Structures are given as structure tokens and as C-alpha cells.
Amino acid sequence: GKELFMAQGCIGCHGMEGKGMQMMGAANLTDAIWRFTPGTEESVKYTISHGVNSGTKETLNAEMPSFQQQLSETDIKKLAVYVHKLGGGQ
């Protein structure tokens, strides 16, 4: 998951360590504060797949593109596990 996080551009908004960039409104992924459905891998997977406020009814109210077209289901799962662990998930 970490390799995908680095390679897929996640670091552009969330930073190398996942701490987010407040000026951009990018979430800190390491603070265990869950903006949407609290603390689940499924929530993270959903956000990676659908993005946030990307113009479809499945999105949530914030800014983040959907990665559903760029990433396989397996890669989305790997990223979700990595991001979940960044926030303290087991």
C-alpha cells in the first residue's frame, strides 16, 4: 500500500507521511479522526474509489478525485489498508 500511496500521487495532497496539507484542505490521514464513516477500511476504500465531491451521487462533500478508473480493485484495497493503518486502524 505504501508504494501505491507514493506512486499514485496521494503524497501530492496528503504528504509523504500522510499528515495532509491544511492549505489544500487535504485530510491528515494519521490522526485517527475519520471525516466520514468512522474507522473502517470499507470507508477508506469507498473514498478512494469514488473520490470526494467528484460530481457523482456516490461522492462525499469535500475535494478528492475518484481513483476507480486508474486503480484495480486490488490496488484500492491495498491503499485502503495502508491508509487505515496510518490512522491507527488494525
pLDDT at 39 (0 to 100): 66
Q: How many CB atoms lie within 10 A of CB 79?
A: 24
Instruction: Report pTM.
Output: 0.71
Task: Quote the cell numbers at residue 5.
Answer: 500511496
Q: Which residues of the chain have pLDDT under 70?
A: 35-39, 53-62, 90
| CB-CB contact of 36 with 29 (8 Å) | no
pLDDT of residue 59: 47
- What pLDDT is stored for residue 32 in this prediction? 75
pLDDT at 79 (0 to 100)? 92
Report the pLDDT value the prediction gives residue 46, as an integer from 0 to 100: 82
Q: Are the beta carbons of 17 and 5 closer than 8 angstroms?
A: no
Q: Helices (DSSP H) in 2-72: which residue ranges?
A: 2-7, 11-14, 41-50
Please say whether the beta carbons of 27 and 51 come within 8 A. no
